């Protein structure tokens, strides 16, 4: 049996595009002699569709698409993922389903059993878990078809009380196929390989796993579809962050073979390499799927805006990036020079709009209210908000989307101005700690200097008051980021972190700042997720909670 795996980029609710793409790849697979072509979880609707799933018309359109796909499935079979109605009176109204289509007909329906409801996942909000498990017979073989999380319960301290494969294995399947929509984080590829390998070795069956690629707002899907033999050995791995159609033959002895060169690498890509690829894809898809082409950002000469500008230029083309230099009376000449050098290196568009007169006009207007009180954070934030007004005005006038340039360290402790530098349409590096931003800058410069070296080596500063440095307000970033990672990603308490050897006062202050900044994060743009625990939909904290504050 020749099986094609279609690793594709889908668009939520774009039924015309998704359906055409699926049909096109069915026809390609058929021309190449495939018996079966397999697509990703919820490929028809796009994933995650969220509350679109509450509209009956949305589900009906999925079914219409499935009928169009079935009509071209002659002399080839396919597996597609889509939401379907649960026709039982009990339980949720929908199932997360896979259709097995052969000779123009839906020959089998498999419903997902293990519905993730943690971190960024919210599937139990919509879907009813399956309790019935049956193999699919095709071409003299039995296929154990599962959907994403259904194979994720072999881990230590499992999240669920059942394993679909424990039921399916009694029907003596010949092969496992798993269709998935598994989001990217920089450590997830190793975890994914380990869990799927464990399934293949546990059940002594070859396993073909297909994942989608593409970004859906903040969630990024990296592909990396995987193929294992019946010992759990990884024998092939499809490319990451790009569409691909690959072919595998299930032989009569149960082995898998393929005629293309294996893409397996001796070493996993470095985290920073993966983060770079993910962010490029995240920016590109956010713009293309939203119907926008041009980005704008404030370029300060600092490392954060420099990295965001370079990433945007790579994702969208330098001609589609507008960098606006907005110097204040505290901006240094070298910062302006660093920003200009970056613009020249990238070839992006730029404008210079000084804000000195604007901020002075606001301060003059507020002079009676401020009543000669000393300069403080109020005047600092006027500068940041003045920049936001100008950038948003240019967005409205010319149709740009504003890129937010705040990093994760700043977002964590609230080191940013609400309605100022924290505004934007998408947060590009909001899930990248400051120490990782430096790594990204060096990675971007791996072949030639793009980001001026001075932007990388100079002490970080918001330049909102004379001689300001980030370290005036925060611990050194190499300490801050380690404490934040223990608290955010590893969910360790302040007492646990202190026991690890960190200064008690610093730990308590950092965690308190993080909790107090929750109200700011509720009002910031969606953040491209690259870590195991990003701010946003995957980290749900109360604003007014006292614990650890």
Q: Which positions are annotated as active-site residues?
A: 41, 112, 148
| Cβ atoms 346, 450 nearer than 8 A | yes
Nearest Cα residue to 74 out of 29, 136, 15? 29
Nearest Cα residue to 83 out of 91, 69, 93, 72? 93
Full DSSP string of 56-94: HHHHHHHHHHHHHHHHT-SSSEEEEEEEEE--SSSS-SE
Angstrom distances, CA of residue 240 to CA of 220, 278, 449: 11, 9, 26
Phi, psi for 358 (deg, rounded to 5):
-65, -50
- Strand order across the 77-85 sheet: 105-111, 94-102, 77-85, 36-38, 2-7, 244-250, 256-257
Angstrom distances, CA of residue 59 to CA of 75, 101, 105, 300, 449: 28, 18, 19, 47, 50
Nearest Cα residue to 43 out of 180, 149, 178, 144? 180
Calculate Rg over the CA atoms of the chain: 26
* Tokens describing residue 379: 């005047």
The rounded distance, in Å, linking the Cα atoms of 273 and 330 is 35
The rounded distance, in Å, linking the Cα atoms of 120 and 197 is 24
Query: What residues are paired with 432 via a beta bridge?
Result: none
Q: Helix, strand or coil for residue 417? A: coil
The rounded distance, in Å, linking the Cα atoms of 344 and 337 is 11
Phi, psi for 216 (deg, rounded to 5):
-120, 90
Burial state string for 387-423 with b = 16 or more CB within 10 A and e = fewer than 16:
bbebbbebbeeeebbbbbbbbbbbbbbbbbbbebbbb
């Amino acid at each position: 049996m020749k099986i094609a795996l279609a690793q594709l980029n889908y668009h939520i609710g774009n039924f015309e595009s998704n359906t055409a793409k699926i049909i096109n790849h069915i026809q390609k697979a058929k021309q190449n002699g495939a018996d079966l072509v397999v697509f990703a979880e919820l490929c028809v609707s796009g994933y995650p569709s969220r509350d679109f799933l509450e509209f009956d018309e949305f589900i009906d359109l999925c079914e219409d698409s499935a009928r169009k796909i079935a009509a071209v499935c002659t002399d080839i079979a396919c597996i597609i993922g889509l939401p379907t109605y649960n026709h039982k009176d009990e339980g949720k109204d929908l199932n997360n389903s896979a259709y097995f289509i052969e000779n123009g007909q839906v020959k089998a329906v498999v419903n997902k059993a293990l519905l993730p409801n943690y971190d960024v996942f919210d599937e139990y909000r919509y879907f009813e878990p399956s309790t019935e498990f049956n193999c699919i017979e095709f071409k003299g073989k039995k296929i154990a078809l599962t959907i994403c999380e259904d194979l994720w319960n072999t881990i230590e301290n499992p999240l669920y009380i059942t394993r679909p494969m424990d039921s399916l294995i009694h029907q003596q399947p010949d092969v496992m196929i798993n269709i998935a929509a598994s989001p990217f984080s920089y450590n997830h590829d190793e975890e994914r390989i380990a869990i799927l390998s464990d399934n293949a070795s546990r059940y002594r069956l070859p396993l073909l796993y297909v994942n989608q690629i593409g970004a859906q707002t903040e969630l990024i899907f990296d592909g990396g579809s995987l193929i294992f033999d019946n010992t759990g050995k990884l024998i092939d791995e499809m490319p990451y962050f790009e569409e691909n159609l690959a072919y595998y033959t299930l032989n009569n002895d149960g082995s898998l073979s393929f005629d293309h060169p294996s893409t397996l690498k001796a070493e996993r890509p470095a985290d920073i390499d993966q983060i770079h690829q993910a962010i490029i894809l995240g920016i590109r898809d956010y713009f293309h799927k939203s119907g926008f082409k041009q980005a704008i950002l404030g370029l300060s000469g600092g490392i954060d805006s420099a990295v965001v500008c370079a990433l945007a230029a790579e994702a969208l083309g330098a001609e589609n990036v507008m960098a606006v230099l907005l110097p204040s009376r505290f901006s240094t000449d070298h910062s302006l020079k660093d920003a200009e050098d970056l613009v020249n290196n990238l070839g992006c568009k730029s404008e210079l709009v000084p804000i000195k007169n604007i901020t002075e006009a606001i301060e003059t207007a507020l002079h009676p209210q401020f009543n000669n009180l000393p300069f403080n954070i109020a005047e600092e934030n006027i500068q940041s908000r003045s920049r936001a007004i100008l950038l948003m005005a240019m967005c409205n006038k010319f149709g740009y989307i504003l890129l937010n340039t705040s990093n994760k360290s700043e977002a964590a402790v609230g080191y940013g101005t609400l309605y100022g530098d924290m505004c934007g349409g998408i947060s590009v590096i909001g899930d990248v700690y400051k120490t990782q931003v430096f790594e990204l800058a060096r990675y971007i410069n791996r072949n030639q200097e793009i980001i001026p070296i001075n932007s990388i080596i100079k002490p970080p500063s918001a330049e909102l008051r004379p001689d300001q440095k980030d370290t005036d307000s925060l611990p050194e970033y190499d300490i801050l980021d380690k404490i934040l990672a223990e608290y955010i990603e590893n969910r360790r308490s302040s007492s646990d972190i202190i026991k690890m050897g960190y200064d008690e006062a610093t730990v308590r202050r950092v965690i308190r700042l993080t909790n107090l900044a929750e109200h700011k994060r509720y009002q910031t743009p969606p953040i491209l997720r690259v870590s195991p625990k990003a701010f946003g939909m995957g980290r749900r904290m109360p604003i007014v909670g006292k614990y650890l504050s």
